[in-house]
Structure 1
């Protein structure tokens, strides 16, 4: 038997083992993300993390729950501090301080999960669909920005179904942070606002 055949057999066995774990998986994503190394703009922003966002728990399929609330607050807080030189975070809009220029409220629209039994691949995949409501301090809407994020496990065996789903969710959150940093100032309406406010 060739080495490649053995490797293929092991991968298939690992995939079947994960898929066969069954049962309910309650996944708590406990991840602290690194600070973002980026050149922030001279903008004072308030970020609204409401209770629904802070405690968000998805149920993408009947037997799986994924709690990403704490992890996503950590991720977004650090990512926004890479974009703006002054950032405050609040639970609702009434707490926004004077002098704030932008108010951003992120929310989760949907979380989707694909398992090896769904795709016949040796990976778990997680999609998170975010939306960012971007406004001026006066409440004037600038944009409502849809931002999907994607993560998957490496093509290798993981010790449990729960661990595999958590890893895929962490990768999806990292993808969200990277997209925010790279794409936020490319949003046409945000660019127009910055031009109007002489922030370019």
Structure 2
């Protein structure tokens, strides 16, 4: 009787150990990856347009991140923060593209600086693909933006002396797409590969912005009007 009791106790301990091992394996299988995108963004060599532009980075833009929770065994949850890199990238590109750029931080800036329009970039979509999903040893990221040019007065809430963007009517809006990829062969980890793909996507966004800006409806007329007003 005692012997059988001891056997049952030992079996229970083994079951608990096996359960604990399974839990650890499950946690390892559904691990988490976090990437704060960072990289270098060379200043483009272009002839700047002769206009004065304010640039407004909204809170959502500054803090933008992609969050993808694992849904199956063997997958990882991803959190890819692009906000800081977005700000660094566009802060490098735009002052080279426009003759004068003012970064709008608050309501007082709208009253202090005389700009022809305010540019507001918005990230509307980010998608990614990694080898686990595609079975191809390439890491890829797609980004989609909505860019708006708004007259400064459209952003002013004079009663409360704050900037408002919700009901601002842009005089022109256009989408911008970007794509970046990085083969795993050149990188040591998944997170490094995703970071590099994101950096390549941002650089692609810059190239697309430069080559397509002059074809945006309303832009040519706006530039001409701004020049005549000077």
Moved more, 150-159 or 41-50: 150-159
Richer in helix (by share): 2
C-alpha distance 130-43 of structure 1, shift in aligned 2 (>3 A)? same
1:137 to 152, 162, 169: 152
- Unpaired segments ≥5 residues, structure 1: 1-19
- How many pairs align? 180
Q: Using the TM superposition, give the Cα deviation of residue 195 of structure 1 relative to its aligned residue in structure 2, in angstroms.
A: 3.4
User: 1:167 and 2:209 equivalent?
Assistant: no
- Unpaired segments ≥5 residues, structure 2: 1-27, 71-76, 155-168
Higher-Rg member (1/2): 2
C-alpha distance 124-59 of structure 1, shift in aligned 2 (>3 A)? same
C-alpha distance 163-22 of structure 1, shift in aligned 2 (>3 A)? farther
Q: CA RMSD in A?
A: 2.2
C-alpha distance 122-50 of structure 1, shift in aligned 2 (>3 A)? same
In structure 2, distance between residues paired with 1:93 and 1:182: 32
TM-score (norm 1): 0.81
C-alpha distance 79-21 of structure 1, shift in aligned 2 (>3 A)? farther
1:123 to 138, 152, 162: 138
In structure 2, distance between residues paired with 1:176 and 1:149: 5
- Work out which structure has the larger RCO, using CA pairs closer than 8 Å and 6 or more positions apart in sequence: 1
Q: Using the TM superposition, give the Cα deviation of residue 145 of structure 1 relative to its aligned residue in structure 2, in angstroms.
A: 1.3
SS of 1:171's equivalent?
A: helix
TM-score (norm 2): 0.71
User: 1:24 and 2:53 equivalent?
Assistant: no
